């Protein structure tokens, strides 16, 4: 169970987030929608523990994983090494994880030798290989063309199926939110607050 209870978050004299409360039970995927610059990434960084300077409290499990806006891989290490070094997989587990995301036989490639879609797949493989209780996704399909985004969404849905992972997805695309989440919330206003989709409309 993830409990996010933010009273406020400011950068200097800029009040970015107001009161934001959110509970995500295991196995549920919550999408947070909102326009660019509204504070979605700030909310997500607080939820993930990357930003600790805020007024409020977050309860999260030990094991978490994140899919960043960019794949955020080690460019000097092969695809397999990116899984082995960061998540601690064995050779066999790394091969299996690569196969799961359709990167069979690409283990020896450096990230720069992979296409953007393949790098995104590798980032997904890494997140799921960490066997997280809490998965945080920060616009994971941004900058992908429509077909590739659809393919990645299907893959993510497959990976999420059956796993009891609490997922927080931040996106500005309603279709992505609809395709992946059980619940969609809207972040709006200044300072931004969270309401469910109906109330925002």
Which residues here bind another protein, judged by CB under 8 A? 45, 48-50, 64-66, 68, 70, 72, 74-77, 85-87, 110, 112-113, 126, 130, 136
Specify the residue, 84 or 186, whose C-beta has the smaller distance to another protein. 84
Specify the residue, 22 or 65, whose C-beta has the smaller distance to another protein. 65
8 Å CB contact between 176 and 182: no
What's the min distance (Å) between Cβ of 65 and another protein?
7
Q: Which residue has the tokens 């799961």?
A: 100
Of the candidates 41, 44, 39, 51, which has an alpha carbon nearest to the alpha carbon of residue 15? 39
**Which of left, alpha, beta for 42 (phi over 0: left; psi -120 to 50: alpha)?**
alpha
Specify the residue, 101 or 186, whose C-beta has the smaller distance to another protein. 101
What's the min distance (Å) between Cβ of 119 and another protein?
12
Q: What is the DSSP string of 105-168?
A: T-TTS-GGGS-HHHHHHHHHHHHHHT--SEEEEESTTTT--HHHHHHHHHHHHHHHTT---EEE
What's the min distance (Å) between Cβ of 47 and another protein?
11
Specify the residue, 120 or 126, whose C-beta has the smaller distance to another protein. 126
What's the min distance (Å) between Cβ of 45 and another protein?
8
Specify the residue, 86 or 197, whose C-beta has the smaller distance to another protein. 86
Of the candidates 132, 128, 121, 130, which has an alpha carbon nearest to the alpha carbon of residue 166? 132
8 Å CB contact between 194 and 187: yes
Specify the residue, 60 or 186, whose C-beta has the smaller distance to another protein. 60
8 Å CB contact between 185 and 172: no
Neighbours of 177 (CB within 10 A): 22
What's the min distance (Å) between Cβ of 131 and another protein?
11
């Amino acid at each position: 169970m993830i409990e996010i209870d933010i009273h406020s978050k400011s950068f200097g004299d800029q009040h970015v987030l107001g009161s934001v409360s959110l509970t995500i039970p295991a196995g549920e995927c919550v999408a947070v929608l909102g326009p660019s610059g509204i504070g979605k990434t700030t909310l997500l960084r607080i939820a993930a523990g990357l930003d600790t300077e805020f007024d409020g409290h977050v309860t999260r499990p030990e094991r978490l994983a994140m899919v960043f806006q960019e794949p955020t891989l080690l460019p000097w290490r092969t695809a397999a090494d990116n899984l082995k070094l960061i998540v601690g997989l064995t050779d066999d587990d790394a091969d299996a994880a690569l196969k799961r995301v359709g990167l069979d036989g690409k283990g020896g490639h450096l990230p720069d030798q992979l296409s953007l879609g393949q790098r995104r797949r590798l980032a997904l493989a890494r997140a799921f290989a960490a066997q997280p209780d809490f998965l945080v996704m920060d616009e994971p399909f941004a900058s992908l063309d429509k077909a590739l985004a659809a393919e990645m969404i299907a893959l993510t849905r497959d990976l999420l199926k059956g796993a009891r992972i609490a997922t927080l997805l931040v996106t500005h695309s309603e279709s992505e939110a609809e395709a992946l989440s059980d619940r969609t919330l809207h972040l709006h206003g200044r300072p931004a607050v969270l309401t469910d989709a109906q109330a925002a409309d």
